[in-house]
Structure 1
């Protein structure tokens, strides 16, 4: 058996019994306010059970309960009794481990309670009568959070406030009953003995007051009284002259002989004692005034009550005229109902059409609602309840029905018998219509919506879209704190926001934050948070849009910008591959990423650089050497996208070769030159995963930029080699020219013959130099010259370079100039134009424009057009370097041609015009 409370607590049973009796709460029916309190306590503390428990000498009885079937238990099962000697929240983390409760049947048997937290219910007289508690079937070593503990204590105080309101209501009803009885006795007393008398002997000029009159004037029983010395001085100065005049008029034998006046009596210090109503009559005999006799009665309370009643009636009249509610007052004894003007304004029923009975009202309720409403209100009237409320449909004068919310309060006599019910009927039709529209918008919205209690962050209502975004059921969200969906690393920001909401701040903000779905996956949400006041309540609504993919796209775009910036400064293939591998791995969260190149000597892959997450580097070798099936697909130019290596039937022959390589999901992008596999960009994930289209596109974009950069570096390297070779040959040529000139000018005797000899030797040297540059004879085919200048940019992609035009044999000088010009154009295209991206194209076409005689003679013109397409947008260069000047002037200096370059946005266009004769010139 669970130990009972200690002796000091048991000693308080008498006070507790008296306190409970004053509240009149034991064994009463459930009430919504207390049910709401336990529901909120359970929600606040995330507990399945909550109780409002009242402890007597031999039992604990539950005014409200949630998650507990029995309405009461014996004290041997009571945990709340242990709170009676406390003033703070009692928390028992494990009931089975606490000496006070370990043997309690509720712990050792069903339902197996293990955790308890209870806030004592303490009356204003400092008497503990029970507790508001929460229980759980699992222990909680951490107990309650400070916020939960404070909230539970606050709820307990709220429960006591409801008890006090009930106590006040009971007291008020008792006072009303006592006042009614007192008023009855007072009326009888006034009629019987409560009226004072006076007798003024006009002949002897003596005044006599009985005890009641003396009391009203504040004069002792033995003090002599007189009209001039006692009566007039004891009347309030503001009433004195009027009262004296009324008396003297009554004493006039020719007058009516009657006195009826009200005045205020005062004490000797001027303090007002009473308001008195006096009546008197003159006793005369044979036209001679003898006596003036009469009565006085205290009307102080009556006049005050009448004044208060008049003020109350005026306030009620103004209130009923100002409200849109149809206010009704139902005299249940007489079955008479009075309505205010709103019945006509809101529902069209004019006073002459209304039968003032309860049946008239019931007959205007919709037939489908009538029986339910009548049964409900009758149960309140015939029972012990004091409040009634309901929603139903009420017929207007025009036959349509209004949706109304009706509520009433009972007035009972001292025995609890029903006397009257006063209430108000509010038209909800328009509100419900708007509410229905808002509900449709709420449920059909394409963004997640959640309504939140700003104090506790508990979700009050959600729509289906939010459940989809968080991957949870409605029951997983409603009734629980939305804080559970925030990842731990973001709790500081969430707590700052909560403090602002809890402080009652009016907010309208848009923010981006992360959420952890029910399946554990992190997502990004764009949150429009609105906190506003509605009446006395602060309402908070969050509208949440899933922007995870948007964030991923932004991340990839930033990564591509970073990649472009860093690749522009890269100086070799190893650095290019290292940059690409790091950006791929970091952006996609991979276990491994990298770039591999083919070793020309062995034909095997060589990893230039890889990026690993907790794995050893594979630089220097590559597992693809062991997987022939995968290699065959790559050599065909296929991009491999593999969700799970082990589950891919096409990779079954190679599956064992991947063991231990931290690679289950893969993307592999082959790099081809002239249909030959020369490199590979790879991205590996350690666990199986489905690759999203955006991720695949991101890897392909990285591969394209890596390939363009490698091509540019190769082109630049070839250019550097050519420049070094040209420099070497030029130095040799100048040396030879110097030697020829020196030999020619030695021992000069005839200047004319020496000049011819020197020119002839230098021309011969120039022809030899041309032959050395071209590797051919004194001339070359135009297509061969152009193809040779573009050869380094041909990666084997179909239609990458297109040459078209008639066969023309150009001379060495034109061949050298054209070769240098086309080389410069191609270099620029590799850096900035069509050759810098996959899919870029360059077309070079030439035609022969015949001369005046209609044949292709020496005076004909050759027109060549260099056209780029498929490259990035073109911008006009801000300055011209040597290369640009070489393009514009190189041919004109050699053969007299013209060159014009247009930087069109969709691709550079260079137009070259040269005389055919100049191109054909051999010398």
Structure 2
């Protein structure tokens, strides 16, 4: 083992350990700045090994290391211990030949070090706490060049600068907390003292009073105040000129800038007088060597009962004593020459020690410092006393009279004699116990908060603190955030907005804003955040806090809703399936961020065209048997990894051919059969969230409705063509019958009778042709046939109920045309225009006394109580009822379709039709005598 240098234990080890502890650096994770320093040192000195080591009482711990595996070694193995005694670079050309190091295990055994050069890490207090060194396994008789030695020293100073920066950040946090506490004490002191505050803005010419000041002048809380109209007007006439002169003198920027006056205030009615003592200080700014008065700020207090000078002084002393007691500041005066300490009464009020009963020495104080803190505190205060420092501050634990320990912040200032001889130190000890407890509770609340919180230095935008929720939102560790600019989390596309906000904060602007910003997580994914940013002035420093809530899902939902509106607009005007396919593909692709998405039909052979296109744009279906089996059951597919789904193994080749690894698909069903698929697939495995699946389901519903509309329109065009064809044939035949009947006619009456008979026969033939078979049809079949084109297979979308009835051809034709018109309107404006809309058609037969005159608008419909003289007969009541559609509005005009609905069927069978446009859905109620529906002629 190598022998430790004798001067290591005698060169102020306690002071070195105390200084090292204040940096809080031991056993911390690696940091880039220190890693860069050792890398530069190794490169500068052409050495394979470079280290930054800090020496404790029993080990050397490495903050940064290059080419050396152990994170720490015992002091008996340390080569750097020999460097601490000096302040220059120590070079050992051959470690094996030097008596100080030749027996060191690092030299005698592996890794057999042969060369060493180290520069001490020296603190501003001139205490060496470690080294920056380089080593080599080959001796270097020439040592280091002068440039290399200077560079090594410079890198050591850089490392110390980084350590000072770390300590500075910690000190700033402590100072901020102390300043906030001081502000609280000042506010409490002002309130306890019962003083009011005034602020006279000389630039704006405005005067502001707090509630206490207003009360002293008899001014209401909402009443405007001004210097001449309120302040001077409310002064006693005998005091007005004197007080105004005192204010004017205080406003002189070249004068002392102090306002001190006692005056009387009077009420508006002049019935009450209050003596007020006022003090103020002038705030002056300097521009180009010219001093300008900006504002006069001060306090006022009621001294009516303290007119006697001695009583006023006594009251003031008492208030200051109470303020000192309320803030728990124990004031001490330490005569360093005589080692005699004087305490004020707050020592007893705050800590239970009566000043007259304690030993008035510095030793008594140190003996009551917590044993674990005592050496550190003593070393720190001795460093200031014995050095040339002026101020001392330290946090430690102080024992109360009851044996418990209080967390205290102790501050002191030195008084020195000629030549810097320490004479006395005067200071105050503040009890931080409650503050620390509250800070710990606040820290616990922040760390457990359900929103991300980050404290920011507004000048550099460096994150000072971050809670776990923010780490979760950004998918990062705390070490990835704290100590780095938060700009790293903003995408470059948003850099201009980010930089503008940073400039405002760096310029000292007080900001209170709610923003919606994008962030890039550590994994590269972009997210949206709602940010409540607050910056505030604490003392002379500005602190900024950002509270961040992840609203990515909310933004996605908004985008999907907007896309659905766009989809509805596009599908409403789509001319055919190809256009529907293109619109669906565009919307799905944009919202889901995919290039392969859209709608595909199931072909006659049972194939799906998923991502396959042939020349000319024609789809090339693939079978996908396993996928089709699931879809035919109405199953919505949401597969994160197609290759990992054993149930889809038969389809693996098809998916691989189109580059699909993840799939979400919603089947389109019609009367229980699979007719198409709305789908999206990704080239890589991807988990589909519930919002994405719901979005595809919504798109599928709207595509289904649009396809049904296209099909219905095509069916209507077909029927129109067929009707035109049959009408032409009928007219041709009627013309032929008339021509044949009239040819060579001699008896007009016989010709008339024959022609009528032939035309009636033609009409019957036409009825049979329209009805399909026989001279009648089932009522349910007629209605179902008219609605077939609107049945998209969704369960419950169309519901028919009623007894089995046979209707004549005339009624069947009129009823079919009427149902067709109602369904067409529902597809355009009502229940069939949206997914989830429902239509119910129900019919009943009951015995009623029929009347054939339809009631006027708002009149009750006929029932069995009317027309008592009539016989009851079977009456059919058929009701068309819509639900689940868009809100209904009463049409402002009636076209041919509306007239056909209201009159066509009624005229054909002798019935009554009533339309009701309720907001929740259209209702059409039809009543007709059963015999009218059964008529064959």
Which deviates more from structure 2 when the two are superposed, residues 550-559 or residues 667-676?
667-676
| Pairing 1:889–2:903 present | yes
Which residue does 1:701 correspond to in 2? Answer: 698
Q: Tell whether 2:802 aligns with 1:773.
A: no
Partner of 1:523: 527
Are 1:327 and 2:325 matched, yes or no?
Answer: no
Residue 829 of structure 1 pairs with residue 843 of structure 2: no
Counterpart of 2:784 in structure 1 is 787
What's 1:391 paired with? Answer: 395
Aligned partner (choices 818, 830, 847) of residue 844 of structure 2: 847
Match of 1:569 among 567, 570, 573: 573
Which residue of structure 2 aligns with residue 278 of structure 1? none
> In the alignment, is residue 578 of structure 1 matched against residue 582 of structure 2?
yes
**In structure 1, what is the equivalent of residue 650 of structure 2?**
653
Gap change, CA 1:319 and 1:920, over 3 Å in 2: same
2:619 to 615, 618, 621: 621
> Is this contact kept in 1: 2:395–2:409, CA < 8 A?
yes
- In 2, distance between residues paired with 1:460 and 1:668? 47
Aligned to 2:931, which of 903, 917, 920? 917
Give the number of aligned pairs: 669
* Kept in 1: contact 2:704–2:792 (CA 8 A): no
Give 2:432's match in structure 1, choosing from 418, 428, 439: 428
Q: Normalization by structure 1: what TM-score?
A: 0.62
CA offset digits 1:296-343 (Å, max 9, x no partner): xxxxxxxxxxxxxxxxxxx99999997654332111233333345655
- Unaligned 5+ residue runs, structure 1? 1-27, 52-61, 81-102, 119-129, 137-150, 159-314
TM-score (norm 2): 0.61
Per mean C-alpha deviation after superposition, the further-off stretch among 28-37 and 351-360 is 28-37
The 1:112–1:522 alpha-carbon spacing in structure 2 relative to 1, beyond 3 Å, is farther
Give the C-alpha shift of residue 375 in structure 1: 6.6
- Is 1:458 the counterpart of 2:472? The answer is no
Decide which of 709, 713, 716 is 1:712's aligned counterpart: 709
Equivalents in 1 of 2:804, 2:461: separation in Å? 82
Given that 1:408 and 1:423 are in contact with CA atoms closer than 8 Å, whether structure 2 keeps it comes out as yes
| Structure 1 CA distance for aligned equivalents of residues 765 and 151 of structure 2 | 107
SS at match of 1:860: strand
**Alignment-derived partner of residue 411 in structure 2:** 407
| Corresponding residue for residue 542 of structure 1 | 546
Task: After superposing the two structures, state which structure 1 stretch, 837-846 or 445-454, moved more.
Answer: 837-846
What is the rounded CA distance, in whole Å, between the counterparts of 2:63 and 2:425 in structure 1?
A: 32
Contact 2:34 2:64 in 1 (8 A): no
CA contact (8 A) 1:45 1:134 kept: no
Unaligned 5+ segments in structure 2 are: 1-14, 39-52, 56-61, 66-79, 92-116, 121-142, 173-315, 851-863, 865-869
Retained in 2: the 8 A contact 1:369–1:392? yes
The answer to whether the aligner puts 1:490 opposite 2:494 as a matched pair is: yes
Paired residues of 2:390 and 2:414 also in contact (CA < 8 A): yes
- Structure 1 SS opposite 2:438: helix
Distance change (3 Å), C-alpha of 1:381 and 1:653: same
| Counterpart secondary structure, 1:655 | helix
Q: 1:911 to 1:491 in 2, by over 3 A?
A: same
Aligned CA distance change for structure 1 residues 739 and 655 (closer, same or farther; 3 Å): closer
Deviations 1:692-747 (A, max 9, x none): 22222222221221111101110111112222333444455456667777888999
1:449 aligns with 2:446: no
1:338 aligns with 2:342: yes
Structure 1 residue 537, shift from structure 2 partner: 0.9
RMSD, matched Cα:
5.0
**Matched residue, 2:913:** 899
**Alignment check: 8 A CA contact 2:609 2:621 kept:** no
Please say if 1:439 is aligned against 2:437: no
CA distance in 1, matches of 2:759, 2:741: 11
CA contact (8 A) 2:30 2:64 kept: no
Contact 2:18–2:379 (CA under 8 A) maintained in structure 1: no
What is the Cα deviation at residue 572 of structure 1? 0.6
For 1:452 and 1:785, the matched residues in 2 are separated by 75
Separation of aligned partners in 1, 2:660 and 2:423: 84
Aligned partners of 1:317, 1:73: CA distance in 2, in Å?
58
Deviations 1:41-88 (A, max 9, x none): x9999565679xxxxxxxxxx9999969866443998999xxxxxxxx
Q: Structure 2: how far apart are the matches of 1:873 and 1:852?
A: 36
SS of the aligned residue for 1:577 comes to helix
| Residues 321 and 536 of structure 1: CA distance in aligned 2, closer, same or farther (over 3 Å) | farther
Maintained 8 Å contact 2:603/2:621:
no
C-alpha separation in 1, matches of 2:454 and 2:812: 76
Q: How does 1:734-745 map to 2 (within 5 A)?
A: none
Q: Distance in 2 between the 1:50 and 1:532 partners?
A: 37
SS at structure 2 position matched to 1:539: strand
The answer to whether the 8 Å contact 1:459/1:478 transfers is: yes
Kept after mapping to 1: 8 A contact 2:612/2:658:
no
Match of 2:641? 644
**Which structure's CA Rg is the greater one?**
1
Distance in 2 between residues matched to 1:584 and 1:852, nearest whole Å:
59
The CA deviation string for residues 233-262 of structure 1, in whole angstroms up to 9 with x for no partner, is: xxxxxxxxxxxxxxxxxxxxxxxxxxxxxx
Shift of 1:413: 4.5
In structure 1, how many angstroms separate the alpha carbons of the residues matched to 2:630 and 2:478? 48
Question: Quick one: distance in 2 between partners of 1:386 and 1:819?
Answer: 105
Matched residue, 1:589: 593
C-alpha spacing 1:33/1:482, structure 2 compared with 1 (3 Å): farther
Alignment partners' CA distance in 2, 1:104 and 1:904: 98
Q: Partners of 2:755 and 2:395 in 1: how far apart? A: 120
- 1:58-457, aligned counterparts within 5 Å? 72-74=87-89, 324=327, 325-340=329-344, 356-358=360-362, 361=365, 373=377, 377=381, 381=385, 386-394=390-398, 403-413=407-417, 418-457=422-461
- Give the distance between the partners of 2:923 and 2:147, measured in 1 at CA: 89
SS of 1:624's equivalent in the other structure is: coil
Give me the whole-angstrom Cα distance separating, in 1, the residues matched to 2:362 and 2:34.
45
**In 1: Cα distance, 2:480 partner to 2:145 partner:** 32
